Amino acid sequence: MCAGCSGNSTDNGINGGAVRHRPASSPYQSVTDYLSNVNNFKIIESTLREGEQFANAFFDTQTKVAIAQALDSFGVDYIELTSPVASEKSFKDCQLICSLGLKAKILTHVRCNMEDAKAAVATGVDGVDLVIGTSSFLREFSHGKSMEYIQKTAIEVIEYLKGEGVEVRFSSEDSFRSDLVDLLSLYKAVDAAGVQRVGIADTVGGATPRMVYDLVRTLRGVVHCDIETHFHDDTGCAVANAHAALEAGATHIDTSVLGIGERNGITPLGALMARMVVTAPEYVKSKYKLRELKALEVLVADAVQIVRRAELFLFVLLFSPLSQNIPFNNPVTGFCAFTHKAGIHAKAILNNPSTYEIINPEDFGLSRYVSISSRITGWNAVKSRVDQLGLEMTDDQVKEVTAKIKQLADIRPLAIDDTDSILRSFHAEQVEGVMARL
């Protein structure tokens, strides 16, 4: 269906190669040292917790179960659920998902108090994610608790949860606007109390990769336990921050499908996969079923009705009928993620896809599309489509028909069907011409 979908595998970097034509020496190498976890990280998938905070989200029980099963099949390490104290239904859904026997560990996310912790344990979860605001903003304008009170309560709750045999994570909220000395002494205390993980949360989405790197690196020197990170995307840094956190020694990244969450959400699972399949291809491809990403995103996108106008273009409906709710520029699964349009790009892509693709669409069960229906197309791309359609033409003929396509595309938008018709009728004219001369 796609012009130029190429099986060209003469290039070692295309089909399963570890590195997609990275030069031997480049200033853009990932930072890797003995603390970096870019080759060894875990995903805490929070579509069913953070994602429930997305403005459009309403997950009924059946949808929650379907999403949990799809996430489990994809291979996420943990699935985080809404607090059981949020509502009666939340409690029951939490119990139900715990009883499904999934490979992923089930977590729930609760406030750091004994009542919430007991409700969490009663649902049968594998682990409890405790959270409390530590920034001066939250201490003054939200819960009003002092750092001394926060630490004392945290230790009591952690000891209770440890006694119940569940995993414990302790996270501050709004970590990047908390006092560093307060934060580190609190984490040191909860680490000594035996938590499995401490969490850093950029709750307002204001952190940059440099800030993340510095804070995680500092924290890595203070605690022995794992470090989980949670990044909101208000300033567009959520994926970059996750990568920086792993480089600095974080072990766990919170994600949600398509990034849905409070306001404009958190690190998207698919975008993180796109980032990490480039940084750590063997690890990511062996651990996660990348070919299931698109179906997972469609499931969630349809459940919350993420609609973008750009998705209404005719060729989207032709080429990707299941993705109307996935944003057009979504990494990997957006309709133009592997679409090549400019003539100069198309020529190179047809010769060797890694010239203009950092990710191999085949790793995700997808294919590339070389657009030939525009004024900026080139004759190499058109020739590829001519070959796909089984039409015999000389290079001069392809150049002639390319000129016709460009002429028409200067006047109005063309769909792929229009271009195919031009190619077929041009070919028929050529054949008729030859017949007439015989």
Given the complex with Zn ion, which of 196 and 264 has the nearer CB atom?
264
For every residue of 194-233, which 3-state class applies, written as one string? Answer: CCCEEEEEECCCCCCHHHHHHHHHHHHCCCCCEEEEEEEC
| DSSP result, 82-126 | --TTS-HHHHHHHHHHHTT--SSEEEEEEESSHHHHHHHHHTT-S
How near is the Cβ of 232 to Zn ion at its closest, in Å? Answer: 6
Question: Does the annotation count 232 as an active-site position?
Answer: no
Size of the site for Zn ion (CB under 5 A): 1
* Least Å from the CB of residue 201 to Zn ion: 6
Q: Smallest gap, in angstroms, from Cβ of residue 202 to Zn ion?
A: 9
Q: Give 64 or 109: the residue with its C-beta nearer to Zn ion.
A: 109
Catalytic annotation, pick one of 252, 340, 345, 427: 345
Residues 273-332 that bind Zn ion (CB under 5 A): none
Residue pair 58/67 in contact by the 8 Å Cβ criterion: no
Q: Please, what is the minimum distance in Å from the beta carbon of residue 49 to Zn ion?
A: 9
Place of tokens 């008729």: 432
Closest distance of CB 261 from Zn ion, Å = 6
CA of 30: how far to CAs of 131, 248, 278, 368, in Å?
31, 11, 10, 26
Positions in 33-52 near Zn ion (CB under 5 A): 50
Smaller CB distance to Zn ion: residue 177 or 427?
Answer: 177
Three-state secondary structure call for residue 352: coil
Helix axes 180-192, 147-163, angle to 10 degrees: 20
Hey, how many other C-beta atoms are within 10 angstroms of the C-beta on 286? Answer: 9
**HEC per residue, 27-69:** CCCCCCCCCCCCCCCEEEECCCCHHHHCCCCCCCHHHHHHHHH
Please say which residue, 50 or 129, places its beta carbon nearer to Zn ion: 50
CB of 267 to Zn ion, least distance (A): 10
Q: Which two three-digit tokens encode residue 412?
A: 């109005």
Residue 152 tokens read as 């004392």
For residue 356, count CB atoms less than 10 angstroms from its CB and return exposed for 0-12, middle for 13-18, buried for 19 or more: middle
CA-nearest of 355, 361, 353 to 336 is 361
Footprint of Zn ion (CB under 5 A): 50
Catalytic residues: 345
